Amino acid sequence: MPELSEHAFGEFYRRHARALWAYVYRVSGNAADADDIVQEAFCRMLSAEVSELSEEDRRKYVFRIAGNLIVDRWRRSTRELSWLARLKTPVEEPAVEHDDEVTRMFAELKPRERALLWLAYVEQQDHQQIAESLGVSRGSVKVLLSRARSRLRSLLTSARIIARA
């Protein structure tokens, strides 16, 4: 099948991009997500065999792609929120004199900082494993872990849980 010509695609885009963006924005409630999803939907349409489809069928096709992308994004964010909620859930540990205060200080860290410290010191993962778990580069782990340790140290010092160095 022949590809959709550049002119035909441009005309199709001009006729339908605004309506598609409005649809995605209404569903997602986020302008940046709408921009990304509309761009991805049109890119995917370009790589599909749609030249033989009618204008209306192409419109339905690009809207269906956008709908699928919205669902994918929603599922991904739901998984991420679930993951973050699990990180925020305190693990029951035997009572130690400063346990409540240390737990409170740990909870004040950003989710990524908590994840880094947990994976490194509780799960005893190496930098490569942490990078794979968090979706960052291996080189970033060392820097991010150092910052997380420093922030926790600062919180604990300010709460006088550890002596000032």
Task: Decide: 44 and 68 in contact? Cβ < 8 Å.
Answer: no
pTM: 0.49
Distance, CA of 153 to CA of 12 (rounded, Å) = 57
Q: Of the residues 37, 53, 86, which one is the last residue of a structural domain?
A: 86
- Clarify whether residues 74 and 106 are in a common domain: no
Report the pLDDT value the prediction gives residue 38, as an integer from 0 to 100: 95
Residues 78 and 127 in one domain: no
Q: What is the pLDDT of residue 90?
A: 67
Biggest CA pair distance of the chain: 73
Same domain, 39 and 104: no
| Rounded Cα–Cα distance for residues 142 and 135 (Å) | 14
Looking at residue 23, which CATH number applies to its domain?
Answer: 1.10.1740
| pLDDT the model gives residue 162 | 63
- Note whether 96 and 30 are same-domain residues: no
Token pair 């859930």 is found at: 89
What is the count of structural domains for the chain? 2
Region of poorest pLDDT, from 40-49, 50-59, 93-102, 110-119: 93-102
Question: What would the pLDDT profile of 79-112 be if each residue is shown by its tens digit?
Answer: 777 777 777 766 565 554 545 677 777 778 887 8
Mean pLDDT of the chain: 82
Q: What is the pLDDT of residue 79?
A: 78
User: Could you tell me the residue range of the domain that residue 134 belongs to?
Assistant: 91-158
Full DSSP string of 18-84? HHHHHHHHHHH--HHHHHHHHHHHHHHHHTS--TTS-HHHHHHHHHHHHHHHHHHHHHHHHHHHHHH
What CATH number corresponds to the domain at position 100?
1.10.10.10
Give the pLDDT mean for 61-83. 84
Mean per-residue pLDDT, 114-124: 79
Q: Say if residue 117 is in the same domain as residue 71.
A: no
